[in-house]
Amino acid sequence: GAVVSQHPSWVICKSGTSVKIECRSLDFQATTMFWYRQFPKQSLMLMATSNEGSKATYEQGVEKDKFLINHASLTLSTLTVTSAHPEDSSFYICSARPQQGRTQYFGPGTRLLVL
């Protein structure tokens, strides 16, 4: 139980294009979903927290107009990297928190490479 999927698992795009990453909780309803960014050999950096049906809360230093987050249902959150640039290349990981509980369950991650 508590499976979270992400799609795509990796994506290569040209600079200036937008990329959408999906995060789905497959066997539970997620009140809250989180988006993290991870640089090579480093820890996870929380980018934003999203609650179903409301605007995401972004961490300090994260550009909300660049990283658009939508949490339209209890099982789906999307992260759109708008006008991507090479410095946006990274490993993006989502997690989901069930309606009852405090544990976060993580997706397998999406590797983004912007050329």
From the list 14-22, 64-72, 75-83, 102-110, the region that binds other proteins by CB under 8 A is 102-110
| Nearest to other proteins of 49, 82 (CB atom) | 49
CA distances from 112 to 3, 48, 71 (A): 22, 18, 21
| Nearest to other proteins of 40, 86 (CB atom) | 40
**Of the candidates 73, 69, 70, 78, which has an alpha carbon nearest to the alpha carbon of residue 99?**
73
> Is residue 98 at the binding interface for other proteins, with CB under 8 A as the rule?
no
> Is residue 99 at the binding interface for other proteins, with CB under 8 A as the rule?
no
Amino acid at 110: T
